[in-house]
Amino acid sequence: MQLNPSFKGIAFNSLLAIDICMSKRLGVCAGRATSWASARSMIKLIGITGHGIPWIGGTILCLVKSSTLAGQEVLMNLLLALLLDIMTVAGMQKLIKRRGPFETSPSLLDYLTMDVYAFPAGHASRAAMVSKFFLSHLVLAVPLRVLLVLWAFCVGLSRVMIGRHHITDVVSGFVLGYLQFRLVELVWMSSNTCQMLISAW
């Protein structure tokens, strides 16, 4: 037992307590008896838009249908980013094993992508990475750019609202997603490399 805890320890435990308290207050759709229980299905649907399986499946489908070299290059690098995200989040979650603020069971899709623990929030990291990727590589009008950022924020918030993640899990997910985007930009596959990989399929 530590009789004289350090200032860092006290500060960390205080921040952790605030995080848990605020996350539970925001978990308004966590159960059927909560205040926003009627909106639970809609909030879960927002969360699903940030899930890895639909994004990977959609990217592969677009890649198969793409007929331009530039399009295939962007889609191959997006696929790399999505696979990197799933592996990184799964590894970190398995290592840290933090539970969410509520006793909620992961969905079948969560088990398929190994997104069963709370830290970091995989949906948030994916939403941040995808939105930053699109903002950098697609020519979008200002309203669409704003909507993309708003979508990423809503995906992260939805995960707190249904009680699957703490606020810090989501914030960490956003930071991780941005770092993954930067890494993919550093190791960006050229059009020739992408063509070689596609032909190998």
Whether 51 is a known active-site residue: answer no
Query: Tokens 């980013």 — which residue?
Result: 81
The residue from 51, 137, 165, 166 that is catalytic is 165
- Residue (of 165, 201, 191) closest to 77 by Cα position: 191
The answer for 99, left when phi > 0, alpha when psi is -120 to 50, beta otherwise, is beta
CA–CA dist 16, 166 (Å, integer) = 10
The residue from 51, 123, 137, 166 that is catalytic is 123
CA–CA dist 135, 183 (Å, integer) = 16
DSSP state of 39: G
Element spanning 3, H or E: none
Angle between helices 69-96 and 191-200 (to 10 degrees): 80
CB 126 within 8 A of CB 78: no
The tokens for 14 are 């205080």
Whether 123 is a known active-site residue: answer yes
Positions marked active-site: 123, 165
